[in-house]
Chain A
Amino acid sequence: MIAEFKLPDLGEGLTESEIVSWQVGVGDTVTLNQVLGEVETAKAVVELPSPYAGVVTAITHEPGTMVEVGEVIIAFEVSAPAGAQVSPTTGTASEEQAPKRVPTLVGYGADPETSTRPARRARAAAGAGSSAISDAQAAHAAPTVQHAAPVQSVPPVRPVQLEDAPDVRMQPDRPRSTPPVRKLARDLGIELESLTGTGERGLITREDVVAFVGDHTQGAGSPVAGAASSAQSQREVRTPIKGVRKFMAQAMVESAFTAPHVTEFLTVDVTAGMDFLAKLRTHKEFDGVKVTPLTLAAKAVTLALSRQPALNSRWDQERAEVVTYNYLNLGIAAATPRGLLVPNIKDVQDLGLRALAVALGDLAKTARDGKTPPSDLAGGTFSITNIGVFGIDAGTPILNPGEAGILALGAVRRVPWEHEGGIALRQVMTLSLSFDHRLVDGAQGSRFLADVGAMMADPAMALVLG
């Protein structure tokens, strides 16, 4: 039999979650409680353990999609007959025993097997224009009699209080929606009553609200409620700000408007440095290890920071102290499937060049796979961003919050350059250094940048400056 796993409410009262990753695929055999993948709720990223032992037959949502609680996300072929380890909620067997109360999944609301909402019995007053209908008749007729339009045309002389009648003061139905969507609508100044829900049983979804806003921004001045063409709304795409994007935005704003940034540039002839890297690649010590300009820059930064510790420090506003680090946790900006992250390598000062190259490789791979643990994201003290890989020469990087410096590596280009009194085609790159001017004076920043440049230009200088 096929058993489906519906997205549960993973927090308290959450209505949706984003699929972050799947660790299983269709056709895979899974055991009970085996981790299927990860989902991100408004509260946390959590792993989903499999509720069944069986074979995966379908995965209905790709990573990156937002799924409403109660939607099927994955299905299994399970061998066990109904009962045993299989939740009766998803089996069909239990539906046949209608009178027996069956367990339901928490957070899905009652009776998930019922596809439609329990219909209200006809209102007592409605259609009961005369008191001729006895209580018993009303009670029994209600479920079947569908009263047509004229119910209100003859107001009852006096309200007939039937025994089974619902309280006449009962509120009319308000539009069905969920608290976050109601808040979104309120924030945008939209009345839910003016929307038509497209969700299950007329539920007004986030998309309905967003689409409504889109329609109305487009058709400015034409107040056609919810009737603008969908083609119009496609001219703009609205993406909720959340997850890594939201976090990064906050961090960047905090940094940009807290630390006074100064950026300096230095263009250096790195031909000798590149030759050195080429030599390393053939060295047996570095067999199987990837060495790049970033490797060299990371080493140069490590050595240069020991001469200018001001760039490896933190401004502690709360205590009115400058914290100078005697260690270096080197952050590397990485484009990951979930957005920009700056994982860092701990205690880089203790690493030799080979170990550093290996660590950089591991860091990048982990980030690309989207598996960077939170511990790698915390505690960075200085960062490097390698914009050269995108073919960019220079930039004015924003400091990773709390850090005193960030170095951007430009692309290495062959350009005509002054060399030994003549013009030669040389390999040249630009280094861009931003620093927090509260912590770092111009002289310190300049010396640091010059030191890094000198070591990039001629790695032998590391013997002098290290």
Chain B
Amino acid sequence: MNDSRHGTTVPAGMHMHHLITATGERTSDELLDEFVSDVDHVTLRGLYRDMLVIRRIDFEATALQRQGQLALWPPLLGQEAAQIGSVRALDPEDFIFPTYRENGVAYIRGANLAGIMSTWRGSANTGWDPHEFNMATPQIIIGAQTLHATGYAMGIAMEGKESLSIAYLGDGATSQGDVHESLVFAASFQAPVIFFCQNNHWAISEPVGLQSHLPLASRASGYGIPSLQVDGNDVLAVLAATRWAARRARTGGGPSFIEAVTYRMGPHTTADDPTRYRGVTELEEWAAKDPLTRLRSYLFNAGMLDAETEAAIAAEADAVAAELRDGCINLPDPEALSAFENVYVDPHPVLDRQREEYRRYLSSFEGSAS
């Protein structure tokens, strides 16, 4: 794998921020330290619990797909710190525009587990009410959510609110036109938006080296948007970096761009075979930087974790998994005609005609209700 496309980007003049090393040592960072001065060991253990639970959710959902209960699942394995660290830095009124992979973020925001599964089972377009949780529906179109987030943030600014919006995006999305437009608009209007880019090294099968020859975070400077690169497997550093960006947004500082450098340990989705493109030693290398392992070591050394507390957290995660499984399996099938609901706010004659045609088609089968 000496192919240049597989090389990770060289952080030329870009500093990778981190606070807890891969071996679990707490280090200091000039920029980030002040943003986590209030984070005590109990909070850190809470972050560990969050990460373990969403890893367990990921495991269960992957199994459910293999068992025919989900049509598809986009694994988040390896990206727990990036998801947890970022969402835990936000206030409830901050509006989240996720990709399809931020299912851990949705769980933390309070979305119902069966609801989250319903999208992947194919029984609902969305598993939660975006207005209830201030989190948009999972965006499948790569990068489109950055436009929504920017527009939303421009609205926040116009209304003079102190809130912000955050767009999650991947390394591949940075090559999209939508993302370019978003960055331009965000800068032009100094919108309170955070571009939270999880560089998980693979855009399905294309390596990040193909998207950019420079660190993705350095692209932001071309738009005049302050950015930083953070160890995406270091939950504390991700929390701090997101708080840095959030403070900028809330104090009229405008947009920020965060590149959280992490790694997708699983396939792109359950329909993907990463062994066809992944470098031979990649998994091993990244397993050594596992986000949970390092925090676990840290907490053990700090005396905040022992076999008993670990077992309690594992039991909690298992209970979440059991609830998820039960909720998923028992999701009722949607009515066929419900496909026409929630398309337009107001009555729409073309859609009405289509619904009527479809209703007549359905009723052509014996035993149908109408």
Q: Which residue of A lies closest to B279 (CB)?
A: A378
Structural contact, A85 and B360, CB atoms closer than 8 A: no
What A residues does B72 contact at CB under 8 A?
12
Q: A199 contacts the other chain (Cβ, under 8 Å)?
A: no
CB-CB under 8 A for A33 and B272, given A103-B329, A105-B68: no
Is B329 a contact partner of A88 (Cβ separation < 8 A)? yes
B275 within 8 A of A: yes
Given contacts A9-B71, A85-B325, contact A167 B357 (CB under 8 A): yes
- The listed residue (B2, B66, B271, B364) touching A47 by CB distance below 8 A is B66
Selected A-B contacts with CB under 8 Å, 9 pairs: A10-B270, A11-B271, A33-B59, A43-B271, A103-B333, A104-B333, A118-B365, A119-B365, A166-B361
A323 within 8 A of B: yes
With A and B bound together, what is the CA distance between A45 and B267 in angstroms? 12
- Closest chain B CB from A117 CB (angstroms): 9
User: B27 at interface (Cβ–Cβ under 8 A)?
Assistant: no
> Is A358 on the interface with B (CB-CB < 8 A)?
no
**Residue B285 lies at the interface, judged by CB distance under 8 Å to chain A:** no
Contact B70 A118 (CB under 8 A): no
Interface size class of A (residues with CB under 8 A): 35 or more
Task: Name the interface residues of B346-370: CB closer than 8 Å to any CB of A.
Answer: 357, 360-361, 363-368
For B65, B66, B72, B325, the residue with the greatest tally of chain A CB atoms inside 10 Å of its CB is B66
- List B contacts of A120 (CB < 8 A): 364-366
The closest CB in chain A to the CB of B284 belongs to A375
**What is the distance, in angstroms, from A8's C-beta to the closest C-beta of chain B?**
3
* Stretch in contact with the other chain, from A106-114, A349-357, A361-369, A399-407: A106-114
Most A Cβ at <10 Å: residue of B65, B331, B360, B364: B364
Tally of B interface residues using CB under 8 Å:
40
Say if the beta carbon of B108 comes within 8 Å of chain A.
no
CA distance A11 to B241 in the complex (A): 37
Write the nearest CB–CB distance from A414 to chain B, whole angstroms.
Answer: 43
User: B13 at the A/B interface (Cβ < 8 Å)?
Assistant: no
Q: Describe A's contact surface by its main secondary structure.
A: loop
A379 interface residue per 8 A CB criterion: yes
B322: A residues at CB distance < 8 A: 85
* Contact mask for chain A residues 8-23; partner B; CB cutoff 8 A; 1 contact, 0 none: 1111100000000000
CB-defined interface of B24-63 with A at 8 Å, one 1/0 digit per residue? Answer: 0000000000000000000000000000000000011001
Docked CA distance A465–B49 (Å) = 60
B280 proximity list for chain A (CB < 8 A)? 374-375, 378-379
B273 at the interface (CB under 8 A from A): yes
SS class of chain B's interface: helix, strand, loop or mixed? loop
Is A46 in the interface zone, CB < 8 Å from B? yes
Contacts of B365 in A (CB 8 A): 118-121
Minimum-distance CB pairs A-B, first 9: A8-B68, A44-B273, A166-B364, A118-B365, A11-B271, A51-B67, A49-B63, A374-B275, A106-B71
CB within 8 Å of B: which A64-122 residues? 85, 87-88, 101-108, 110, 118-121
Q: Which of B67, B72, B121, B275 has the most CB of A within 10 A?
A: B67
Give the residues from 36 to 69 in chain A that come closer than 8 angstroms, CB to CB, to chain B: 43-51
With A43-B271, A378-B280 as given contacts, are A103 and B67 in contact (CB-CB < 8 Å)? Answer: no
Convert B94-137 into 0s and 1s, putting 1 for each residue whose CB lies closer than 8 angstroms to a CB of A. Answer: 00000000000000000000000000011000000000000000
Q: Does B160 contact A (CB under 8 A)?
A: no
Contact A43 B333 (CB under 8 A): no
Interfacial chain B residues near A8, Cβ < 8 Å: 65-69
Chain B nearest CB from A172 CB (Å) reads 13
Kindly supply a per-residue 1/0 record for chain B positions 311-345, scoring 1 wherever the CB is within 8 Å of any chain A CB and 0 otherwise. Answer: 00000000000100110011111010000000000
Question: Shortest CB–CB separation between residue B221 and chain A, in angstroms?
Answer: 31
CB <8 Å contact, A143 and B273: no
Contact B366 A5 (CB under 8 A): no
Residues of B within 8 A of A (CB): 2, 59-60, 63, 65-72, 121-122, 267, 270-273, 275, 280-281, 322, 325-326, 329-333, 335, 357, 360-361, 363-368
Are B122 and A106 in contact, with the CB atoms below 8 A?
A: yes
Distance between Cα atoms of A143 and B272 in the complex (Å): 45
A165 at the interface (CB under 8 A from B): yes
Nearest Cβ in chain A — how far from B277, in angstroms? 11
CB-CB under 8 A for A142 and B330, given A44-B273, A375-B280:
no
Closest chain A residue, CB of each to CB of B59: A33
- Contact (Cβ within 8 A) B67 A121: no
Q: Which residue of A lies closest to B325 (CB)?
A: A85
Contact at A9–B63, with CB atoms within 8 Å? Answer: no
Whether B332 contacts A12 by the Cβ 8 Å rule is no
Q: Which residues of B contact A7 (CB under 8 A)?
A: 68
Q: Which residues of B contact A142 (CB under 8 A)?
A: 366
The reply to whether B367 and A6 form a contact with Cβ atoms under 8 Å apart is no
Of chain B, the residue at the smallest CB distance from A34 is B63
Known contacts A8-B66, A119-B365; is A43 also within 8 Å of B121 by CB? no
Residues of chain B within 8 A of A207, CB atoms compared: none
Residues of B within 8 A of A46 (CB): 66, 270
> Is the pair A12, B71 in contact by a Cβ cutoff of 8 Å?
yes
Q: Name the B residues within 8 Å of A165 (CB-CB).
A: 360, 364
Contacts known (A88-B329, A88-B330, A104-B333); A49 close to B71, Cβ less than 8 A: no
Instruction: Report the separation of the CA atoms of residues A50 and B63 in the bound assembly, to the nearest whole angstrom.
Output: 8
When A44-B267, A103-B331, A120-B365 are in contact, do A166 and B360 touch as well, CB less than 8 Å?
A: yes
B-facing residues in A362-409 (Cβ within 8 Å): 374-375, 378-379
Output the residue of A12, A33, A106, A121 with the most chain B CB within 10 A: A106
**Chain B contacts of A119 at CB under 8 A?**
365-366
A274, B155: Cα distance in complex, Å:
84
Q: Which one, A6, A118, A143, contacts B68 given CB within 8 A?
A: A6
Identify the closest chain B residue to A114 (Cβ): B367
Alpha-carbon gap, A11 to B272, bound state (A): 8
B93 → A minimal CB distance (Å) = 35
Q: Give 10 A-B pairs besides A48-B67, A102-B332, A104-B333 with Cβ atoms closer than 8 angstroms.
A: A10-B66, A11-B270, A12-B71, A49-B67, A85-B322, A102-B333, A105-B68, A121-B366, A166-B360, A379-B280
Q: Does A164 contact B (CB under 8 A)?
A: yes
**What CA separation (Å) do A345 and B325 show in the bound complex?**
42
Contacts of B267 in A (CB 8 A): 44
CB distance from B325 to the nearest CB of A (A): 7
Q: Which A residues lie within 8 Å of B333 (CB)?
A: 101-104, 110
Roughly how many angstroms separate A374 CA and B284 CA in the complex, as a whole number? 13
Chain B residues closer than 8 Å to A118, beta-carbon distance:
365-368
Chain A residue numbers with a CB within 8 Å of B357 are: 167
A310–B73 alpha-carbon span in the complex (Å): 47
B193 to chain A, nearest CB (A): 32
By a CB distance below 8 angstroms, the chain A residues around B2 are: 323
Could you tell me the distance between the alpha carbons of A421 and B365 in the complex, rounded to whole angstroms? 94
Q: Which residues of A contact B363 (CB under 8 A)?
A: 121, 164, 166
Least CB distance, B300 to chain A, in whole angstroms: 27
